[in-house]
């Protein structure tokens, strides 16, 4: 499966219905975004069990704003509806492969516990 164009209309459904979604925030005018695109496409082909989405920040400014995207390209990984990775910059192929491998190995029960603890702490509980 190649990449999926994510929009405000299909974003929630895509993230809810899939356990592991990678998101590339990009724009057509962005040179590093264009350099990263073939690396991202190859990773999508190499990992057919994962969903690889792309969000055009020019066409979807609400989504870019919702995630506080300040520079592009930005790669985000969402597992079980929790953002577990977000980093601006075009990753080389080896780094992208490594990040995907690390995200696959995450114990999501531990991640959810950490998120809950952080939320409780920020709410002063």
Residues involved in catalysis: 30, 33
Q: Which residue has the tokens 């592009």?
A: 72
* Cα–Cα distance for residue pair 7/59, rounded to 1 Å: 8
* Cα–Cα distance for residue pair 115/101, rounded to 1 Å: 21
Maximum pairwise Cα distance, the chain: 46
């Amino acid at each position: 499966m190649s990449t999926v164009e994510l929009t405000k209309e299909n974003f929630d459904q895509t993230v809810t219905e899939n356990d592991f979604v990678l998101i590339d925030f990009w724009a057509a005018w962005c040179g590093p975004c264009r350099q990263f695109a073939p690396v991202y496409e190859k990773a999508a082909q190499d990992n057919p069990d994962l969903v690889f989405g792309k969000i055009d920040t020019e066409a979807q400014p609400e989504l870019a704003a919702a995630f506080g995207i300040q520079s592009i390209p930005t790669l985000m990984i969402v597992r079980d509806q929790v953002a577990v990775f977000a980093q601006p910059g075009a990753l080389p192929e080896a780094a992208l492969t490594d990040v995907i491998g690390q995200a696959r190995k995450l114990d999501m029960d531990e991640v959810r516990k950490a998120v809950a603890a952080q939320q409780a702490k920020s709410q002063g509980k």
